[in-house]
Structure formats: C-alpha cells, structure tokens
C-alpha cells in the first residue's frame, strides 16, 4: 500500500502523539506533547507489566505475552487518553513500536495503532524501540545532539553515538548475552526470583565482592564490545563448587558478579567517552544511560565516577522511563514528526520486525538484537 496520504493536523504551537509499546512483557500507552520550542511533556504514561503472567515459567513466554497484549492494550490506551484528559480527536498522530522485539506482541501494538490511525484519519508512525530508548534523554533532560548512549537492557548492551534523529552509530555491542540477561541468568542459578537484576542487586548488598575473583571478559580485547557469557559460566562453576549454597554464599556470589560487571561497564564507558570525545571534538561530552539495568545503583555510582573523572556529564533518565514504556515511543514519534519527514516510517504497510538494528551499517553480531529477546 502506498504512503498514508493524510496531512498532519499539527498546530504550529504543539503536537500531541499517542505512543504504544508492546514489544516484550510491558503493555504500555502514553500521551506526550511537544511544544514549538521542542520541549516535551508527558500527559499520561500507563504501563502494565506482565511479570505475573510469566512468573511460573522463569522468563517471558512470547505467545503468552502476545495474548496478554491483546487482552490489555485497548483498556490501557483508553486509560492513557483519560489520564491525559484527551480524546482521539485531540491527537496529531499515533506512534507504535514496530520492532525489534517479540514479533507477536509487536504485531498487536502496530496493528492497533494502524486501526486507530485509519479510523481517526491520523498519521501512523512505526517506531524503532531502540530509538525510543535512545531519544528519551531529550524528552527528560533536553540533551542536545550528539551524545554517547549506553543502552543496557534485557535484550541489548550497546554503545551508540546518537548524532541526530535517525542517525546512530554503533560503537560496540555484546557478542553474546545482554547485561540484563546476565543478571537474570545469574539470579536463576543462585535461586533468586524474577526479575533477576533487582534481586541480584539486593543480595549483593550483604555480600563480600572480593570473595570470588570473576573474570572481566573483553576488557583488553574488542575495545567497546561486551561478552558476558563467560562470566556467567564462571559464576556457575563457583556456585557448583561450594553447593549447597548458604545465604552468605549467594550474597558473596551476587556481590562478586556485580563487581565484575560494574568494572567492565565503567572501564568500557571510559574508553567509549575518550573515542567519542575525539571523534566529535567535544571536551565535555554527555553519556546517557538507558535500559532497565540503569536502575542498578552500583553501576550508576561507578558511571558517576567515570564521567566525573573524564569531565563528562552523566544523564540517567528516571527509571520508569529507562525501562519499557509508551512515552519513549510517543516521543520518538514526535521527534520524527519534527524532522518533517516520516517517509519510510509513516506508511500504513510498515511491517512488524523482530530484528531492526538502529545502525544498519554495523555488522550483525549474535547479541545485538536477537530474535525473541527483550529490547
């Protein structure tokens, strides 16, 4: 089908977009307004986590996620509009995640957005979920281009140079597990419940981080690429060697694991900042951290030290906006609209995509956007 030939009803002063997010196990919708000066304001942000639906399975089950999105999404959109005090007639466009992510869920959200757009005569914007994460700091903190992004979530661990809307250069990525995934797998083998990251962090508080000398993979090699699967194996071997685990062992293993990943993130970030500063000529670049792992206090404080030592700024959006949400999708749609060109993303025949790298020129790596993982 050809491009959706409905002109924008944007007023000069402000633009209002409904954003829909269904790419993993959060069903989310949000209404965001952008004023003529480019400032964003969240009018509503409704997120329904499906943690309970998936709890019994120890991970996200794609089919269950897709079915839950079907059941929940319409009610969540109605609530997002009600919270914003608006109706469909007040919207200028509808944005939805079109990938990467679990394909069933992405299809539910994208088709819903297309249906709303068609019925109400609105443009639809197919948003790359990773672009949503990448641009959130501009909504929350008005960060100017270019900046360095560390995206650490359940499905991705990447450094990206964010040069403009639609212009992303991948500087490094994981070659196996994502960092959130490494936290989740470590939690599982320590017998800690889902979600793994916060529970490993909690257990680590009482632990001795020096008891186990876990490897810091890829610190010398690959410069800005990550590898976490060897670390996970080292934790498993150490745990098996002292099984059955007492509480103190779990705490020490969690603390030693967290110390290793914190070192890796801090050191790689220092290298990435140096590269980014050299490439851009910026003396005091900004490092933005996004994704669920940004909630980790040990990692945050290590990054605070790294950026301070470099003379760089650190921006970590509020955690509710680092994890998956509809506001980041609405904002990415608004940013696209503001460029005046939504070609390629504003067509009614935009497909749902399981894979959709932000930097299409970067060579594919196993851990950089796998099928069936969180983004």
Decide whether 22 or 345 has the Cβ nearer to Zn ion. Answer: 22
357 near 369, Cβ under 8 Å? yes
- In the set 21, 324, 335, 347, which binds ligand KG4 (CB under 6 A)? 324
CA distance 132 to 129: 5
Complete edge-to-edge strand list for the sheet that includes strand 167-173 = 167-173, 157-164, 147-152, 286-290, 313-315
Residue 45 contacts ligand KG4 per CB under 6 A: no
Residue 176 contacts Zn ion per CB under 5 A: no
> For Zn ion, which stretch binds (CB under 5 A), given 63-71, 108-116, 319-327, 351-359?
319-327
Residue 324 contacts Zn ion per CB under 5 A: yes
93 near 9, Cβ under 8 Å? no
Tokens 């062992």 appear where? 249
What minimum distance in Å lies between the beta carbon of 25 and ligand KG4? 8
* Residue 96 β-bridge partners: 20, 126
Residue 132 contacts ligand KG4 per CB under 6 A: no
**In a 3-state reduction of DSSP, which class is residue 32?**
strand
Task: Pick what 177 binds: ligand KG4, Zn ion, none; C-beta below 5 to 8 Å, kind-dependent.
Answer: none
What are the Cα distances from residue 225, in Å, to 51, 96, 170? 30, 30, 10
CA distance 38 to 90: 19
Decide whether 116 or 287 has the Cβ nearer to ligand KG4. Answer: 287
Q: How far apart are the first and last CA of the chain?
A: 28
Residue 296 contacts ligand KG4 per CB under 6 A: yes
By CB under 6 A, the residues from 252 to 291 that bind ligand KG4 are 291
**In a 3-state reduction of DSSP, which class is residue 219?**
coil
> For ligand KG4, which stretch binds (CB under 6 A), given 111-119, 147-155, 241-249, 265-273?
147-155
Residue 155 contacts ligand KG4 per CB under 6 A: yes
- In the set 183, 214, 276, 356, which binds ligand KG4 (CB under 6 A)? 183
Q: Which residues make up the interface to ligand KG4 (CB under 6 A)?
A: 24, 153-155, 180-181, 183-184, 195-198, 201, 291-293, 295-296, 323-324, 374-375
């Amino acid at each position: 089908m050809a491009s959706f030939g409905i002109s924008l009803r944007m007023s000069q002063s402000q633009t209002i977009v409904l954003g829909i997010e269904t790419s993993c196990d959060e069903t989310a919708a949000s209404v965001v307004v952008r004023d003529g000066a480019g400032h964003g304001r969240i009018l509503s942000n409704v997120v329904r986590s499906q943690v309970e639906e998936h709890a019994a399975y120890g991970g996200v089950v794609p089919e269950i996620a897709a079915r839950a999105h079907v059941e929940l999404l319409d009610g969540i959109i109605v609530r997002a509009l009600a919270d914003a005090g608006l109706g469909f007639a007040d919207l200028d466009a509808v944005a939805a995640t079109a990938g990467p992510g679990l394909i069933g869920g992405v299809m539910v959200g994208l088709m819903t957005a297309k249906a709303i757009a068609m019925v109400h005569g609105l443009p639809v914007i197919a948003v790359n979920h990773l672009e949503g994460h990448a641009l959130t700091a501009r909504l929350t903190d008005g960060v100017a281009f270019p900046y360095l992004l560390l995206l650490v979530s359940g499905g991705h661990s990447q450094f990206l140079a964010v040069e403009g809307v639609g212009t992303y250069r991948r500087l490094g990525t994981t070659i196996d597990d994502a960092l959130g995934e490494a936290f989740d797998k470590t939690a599982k083998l320590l017998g800690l419940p889902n979600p793994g990251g916060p529970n490993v962090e909690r257990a680590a508080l009482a632990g001795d981080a020096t008891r186990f000398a876990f490897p810091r993979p890829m610190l010398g090699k690959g410069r800005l690429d990550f590898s976490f699967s060897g670390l996970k194996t080292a934790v498993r071997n150490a745990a098996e060697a002292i099984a059955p685990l007492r509480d103190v062992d779990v705490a020490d293993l969690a603390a030693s694991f967290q110390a290793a990943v914190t070192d890796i993130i801090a050191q790689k970030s220092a290298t990435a900042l140096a590269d980014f500063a050299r490439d851009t000529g910026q003396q005091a670049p900004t490092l933005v951290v996004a994704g669920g792992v940004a909630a980790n206090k040990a990692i945050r404080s290590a990054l605070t030290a790294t950026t301070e030592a470099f003379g760089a700024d650190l921006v970590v959006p509020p955690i509710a906006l680092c994890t998956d949400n509809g506001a980041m999708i609405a904002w990415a749609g608004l940013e696209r609209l503001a460029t005046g060109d939504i070609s390629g993303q504003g067509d009614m025949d935009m497909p749902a995509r399981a894979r959709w790298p932000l930097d299409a020129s970067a060579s594919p790596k196993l851990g950089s956007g796998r099928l069936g993982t969180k983004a």
